[in-house]
């Protein structure tokens, strides 16, 4: 889901500034974290600044990590897993990644491309016909490829809610953010590997992605560890909502490629490091991921409000004075998240929260660590 859809021009563009950082003797032996512009601040000060933001915006719980020089240099947790029980968030606490599922699933897809299991440009219906296409779109949908899905050019809606799928445009000709298209692609990959789209697909994903990247507790599928360690989501009033599958939500028994990934910042940071170091895939594959495959029209709200100019394979793109920013938001309402990388600066960030306060938190972080959004 697009975290940015509710934003208006009254809150965008954001005003970015970096707080001056003064070196002092008391900080000389402390670990330091580089801001986007290269200025340094101690982890003690960073802890204080982030804790202040958590309190200011009434964020129940947070897991956050920063990457400098393509290495994780900072990870910490703040707040509580449940605003009523006050159980603290710690390094084992699991959050819903929401749409941060998409970038790491795209990485998995590119693994399948390298193994020649999947062709980026072969129409997906030739692998597995989609059973729920509206009559008016039954011919046009046959143009959809994995490349179009990963760059949001399929014409699929974001969610279908049990209805037949009617394409918004001819595939490949425009942009429409779609989690539903990711679900179709996941089923194609499950079919090609003869594992389905449940436990077998998650097991394959873990073999190809989370195990090599040392992300032992990150998963698209519900399991005992997640059940024991998952934070509660919180509504707009700060009241706990849920921390388990249930009626009207993801059932925990399928891989929802666009939204069901569960993780926390320290583990997800291993994926960000892999992107920055270009580990796990060939150089030409990373070039495909980071190349613009969708160029936004001038009237695109993401371009007008945020400055994003297009989409690669799995990540949005925004030109900045520090190089091209590759980014993604996550929004399951009572859980939100954000990640971004600046490859030229070898800088990255990821955070997870268990409420809907990601945008004000990002605005606050801009004043601490620099323009990260």
Question: Using one digit for the tens of pLDDT, what is the confidence trace for 346-359?
Answer: 999 999 999 999 99
Closest CA to 66 of 113, 32, 94: 32
pLDDT reported for residue 1: 44
Domain range list for the chain: 25-117+193-369
Region 25-117+193-369: CATH code: 3.40.710.10
Question: Using one digit for the tens of pLDDT, what is the confidence trace for 236-283?
Answer: 999 999 999 987 788 899 999 999 999 999 999 999 999 999 999 999
Closest CA to 346 of 330, 320, 373, 322: 322
- Residue 282: how many other CB atoms lie within 10 Å: 12
Q: 77-86, 117-126, 246-255: which range is least confident on average? A: 246-255
**128 three-state secondary structure:** coil
pLDDT reported for residue 29: 54
Helices (H) and strands (E) in the chain, counts: 10, 12
pLDDT reported for residue 76: 98
Residue 195 has pLDDT above 80, yes or no: yes
Question: Using one digit for the tens of pLDDT, what is the confidence trace for 273-315?
Answer: 999 999 999 999 999 999 999 999 999 999 999 999 999 999 9
Of residues 51 and 13, more confidently modeled: 51
DSSP string, 155-187: ---S--TTSPB--SSSTTSS----HHHHHHHHH
Which tokens hold the place of 146? 């994995």
Average confidence (pLDDT) over 135-145: 97
pLDDT reported for residue 41: 95
Average pLDDT over the chain reads 92
């Amino acid at each position: 889901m697009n975290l940015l859809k509710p934003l208006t021009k009254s809150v965008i563009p954001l005003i970015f500034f970096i707080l001056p950082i003064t070196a002092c003797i008391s900080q000389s032996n402390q670990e330091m974290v580089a801001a986007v512009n290269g200025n340094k601040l101690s982890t003690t000060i960073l802890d204080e600044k982030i804790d202040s933001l958590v309190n200011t915006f009434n964020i129940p719980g947070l897991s956050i990590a920063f990457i400098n020089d393509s290495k994780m240099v900072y990870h910490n947790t703040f707040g509580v897993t449940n605003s009523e029980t006050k159980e603290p968030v710690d390094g084992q606490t699991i959050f819903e990644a929401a749409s941060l599922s998409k970038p790491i699933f795209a990485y998995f897809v590119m693994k399948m491309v390298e193994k020649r299991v999947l062709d980026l440009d072969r129409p997906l219906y030739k692998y597995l016909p989609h059973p729920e296409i509206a009559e008016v779109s039954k011919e046009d949908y046959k143009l959809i490829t994995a490349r179009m899905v990963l760059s949001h050019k399929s014409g699929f809606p974001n969610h279908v809610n049990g209805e037949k799928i009617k394409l918004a445009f001819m595939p490949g000709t425009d942009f429409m953010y779609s989690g539903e298209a990711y679900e179709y692609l996941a089923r194609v990959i499950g079919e090609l590997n003869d594992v389905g789209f449940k436990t077998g697909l998650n097991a394959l994903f873990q073999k190809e992605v989370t195990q090599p990247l040392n992300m032992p507790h990150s998963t698209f599928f519900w399991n005992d560890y997640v059940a024991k360690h998952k934070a509660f989501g919180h509504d707009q009033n700060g009241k706990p909502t849920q921390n388990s599958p249930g009626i009207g939500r993801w059932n925990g028994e399928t891989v929802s490629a666009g939204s069901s990934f569960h993780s926390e910042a320290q583990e997800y940071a291993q994926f960000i490091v892999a992107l920055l170091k270009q580990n796990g895939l060939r150089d030409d594959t990373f070039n495909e991921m980071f190349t613009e495959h969708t160029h936004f029209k001038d009237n695109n709200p993401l371009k007008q409000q945020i400055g994003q100019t297009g989409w690669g394979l799995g990540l949005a793109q925004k030109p900045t004075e520090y190089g091209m920013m590759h980014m993604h938001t996550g929004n399951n309402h009572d859980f939100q998240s954000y990640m971004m990388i600046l490859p030229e600066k070898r800088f990255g960030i990821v955070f997870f929260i268990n409420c809907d306060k990601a945008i004000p938190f990002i605005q606050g972080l801009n004043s601490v660590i620099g323009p990260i959004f």
